């Protein structure tokens, strides 16, 4: 079994971080820092460990933040070697304590902290720390991010989008962004045709968040962007609409070409096995038959109602296929649903109802049963 992410913040990392600071600040009390940063570390989760190490840094760097952050910036290593983050593993997380230090101690030093985050985001990501400044200084921070949309570094450009997501995973809410989504869209407008996929994916994720909080604005933005869109921008919009499409929002389906009411019947749906143990998977095979006199463009998904730990069920939508179905024709599609334990979902025994979604319209497909693993 793979080690949990939190284990990256270990005594070994504390030692390496202390050595990096001592190289540029010889009077740094490395042994005392190591003891303080390591004490109680194993009992904390990922973010708690980063904060604990940042607190130890603050206790052993100069008391004045401007001096402390200059030392940290002098100690950092090279920028990301590539535009993409895939394949970098946990290595960039080394700089998470640095950014916690900025967020918690640098709020009274706006310009200096902006410069620090500019440098650090090219090595990890300042998407979490920047939110503290967006919350306290929205009118000062947003113009800085606007300027960064034209920066040569894709990691800096990405920060302008990722840091302003309305529902950033693990990130704190920023009331100003929720109340002024048009200012977020203005940043995204500058990045929608960015040459780097890393940045465009962030724009899509930001816009996907917007569909959940301000759906009208998000859908209007997507419609506008689809006019004379390049293939890259069209792909961005489709990715941005993924949650709305899974929810069956009619206008979202229409924007991606699947707005027509389907004229089909669910001829059959089979589960193999019909009873599956936790840790296994179930194969779903379904056949759709056309009842129309013309060809149809169909977006087919599967909605599984997972049994939850508390009373009730929680639905998850799985993509199946996009098909062109000729008149009086039929198509058989398949999807394998995992019942393995994931960090975001732990399957539980019980009856799992299944629906087939065709252009957002639900067809009852029956159910399979999950049993406890032996």
- Please report where in the chains the tokens 């499409």 appear, as a residue: 245
User: What pLDDT, on a 0 to 100 scale, did the predictor assign at position 343?
Assistant: 60
The CA-to-CA distance between both ends of the chain, in Å, stands at 19
What is 264-371's CATH topology?
A: Immunoglobulin-like (2.60.40)
Strand ranges of the sheet holding 296-307, from the earlier edge strand across to the other edge: 275-277, 361-371, 350-358, 296-307, 313-325
User: What pLDDT, on a 0 to 100 scale, did the predictor assign at position 346?
Assistant: 77
Q: What is the CA radius of gyration of the chain?
A: 25
User: What pLDDT, on a 0 to 100 scale, did the predictor assign at position 170?
Assistant: 87
User: What pLDDT, on a 0 to 100 scale, did the predictor assign at position 92?
Assistant: 87
Q: Greatest CA separation found in the chain?
A: 82
User: What pLDDT, on a 0 to 100 scale, did the predictor assign at position 344?
Assistant: 63
Q: Which two tokens mark 111? A: 């310009």
- CATH homologous superfamily of 5-255: ARM repeat domains (1.25.40.290)
The Cα angle at residue 104 between residues 98 and 109, in degrees rounded to 5: 90
- Please report where in the chains the tokens 């529902």 appear, as a residue: 167
The residue ranges of every structural domain in the chain are 5-255, 264-371
CA–CA separation, 37 and 53 (whole Å):
5
User: What pLDDT, on a 0 to 100 scale, did the predictor assign at position 239?
Assistant: 97
φ/ψ of residue 201, rounded to 5: -65, -40
Helices then strands, each counted (H, E), the chain: 16, 8
User: What pLDDT, on a 0 to 100 scale, did the predictor assign at position 1?
Assistant: 44
Contact 263, 290 (CB under 8 A): yes
Per-residue pLDDT of the chain (374 residues; tens, 9 = 90+): 456 778 888 999 999 999 999 999 999 999 999 999 999 998 999 899 999 999 999 999 999 999 999 999 999 999 987 777 665 678 888 999 999 999 999 999 999 999 999 999 999 999 999 999 999 999 999 999 999 999 999 999 999 999 999 999 989 999 999 999 999 999 999 999 999 999 999 999 999 999 999 999 999 999 999 999 999 999 999 999 999 998 999 999 999 999 889 999 999 999 999 889 988 999 999 999 999 999 999 999 999 999 887 666 688 999 999 999 999 999 999 999 998 887 667 788 999 999 999 999 999 999 999 998 76
Burial letters 295-308, b for 16+ CB under 10 A, else e: ebebbbbbbbbbbe
- Residues 6+ positions from 267 with CB-CB distance below 8 Å: 287, 288, 289, 330
Q: What is the pLDDT of residues 108-156, one digit of tens each?
A: 999 999 999 999 999 999 999 999 999 999 999 999 999 999 999 999 9
User: What pLDDT, on a 0 to 100 scale, did the predictor assign at position 303?
Assistant: 95
């Amino acid at each position: 079994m793979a080690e949990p992410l939190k284990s990256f913040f270990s005594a070994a990392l504390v030692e390496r971080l202390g050595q990096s600071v001592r190289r540029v600040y010889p009077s740094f009390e490395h042994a005392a820092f190591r003891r303080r940063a390591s004490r109680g570390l194993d009992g904390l989760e990922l973010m708690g460990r980063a904060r604990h190490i940042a607190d130890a840094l603050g206790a052993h760097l100069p008391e004045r933040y401007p001096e402390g952050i200059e030392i940290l910036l002098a100690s950092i290593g090279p920028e990301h070697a590539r535009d993409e983050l895939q394949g970098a593993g946990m290595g960039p997380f080394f700089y998470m304590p640095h950014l916690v230090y900025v967020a918690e101690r640098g709020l009274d030093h706006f310009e200096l902290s902006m410069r620090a985050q500019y440098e650090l985001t090219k090595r990890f990501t300042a998407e979490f720390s920047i939110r503290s400044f967006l919350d306290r200084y929205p009118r000062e921070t947003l113009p800085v991010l606007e300027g960064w949309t034209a920066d040569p570094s894709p990691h800096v450009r990405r920060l302008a989008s990722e840091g302003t997501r309305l529902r950033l995973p693990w990130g704190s809410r920023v009331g100003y962004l929720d109340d002024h989504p048009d200012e977020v869209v203005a940043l995204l407008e500058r990045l929608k045709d960015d040459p780097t996929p890393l940045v465009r994916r962030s724009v899509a994720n930001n816009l996907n968040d917007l569909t959940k909080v301000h759906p009208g604005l998000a859908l209007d933005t997507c419609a506008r962007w689809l006019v004379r869109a390049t293939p890259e921008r069209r792909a961005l919009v489709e990715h941005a609409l993924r949650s709305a499409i899974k929810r069956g929002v009619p206008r979202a389906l229409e924007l991606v070409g699947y707005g027509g009411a389907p004229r089909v019947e669910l001829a059959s749906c089979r589960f193999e096995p019909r009873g599956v143990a936790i840790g296994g998977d179930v194969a779903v095979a379904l056949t759709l038959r056309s009842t129309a006199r013309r060809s149809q463009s169909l977006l087919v998904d599967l909605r599984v109602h997972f049994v939850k730990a508390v009373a009730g069920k929680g639905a998850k939508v799985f993509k199946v296929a996009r098909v062109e179905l000729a008149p009086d024709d039929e198509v058989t599609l398949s999807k394998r649903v995992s019942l393995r334990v994931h960090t975001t979902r732990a399957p539980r025994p019980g009856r799992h109802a299944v629906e087939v979604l065709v252009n957002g319209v639900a067809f009852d497909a029956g159910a399979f049963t999950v049993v406890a693993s032996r």
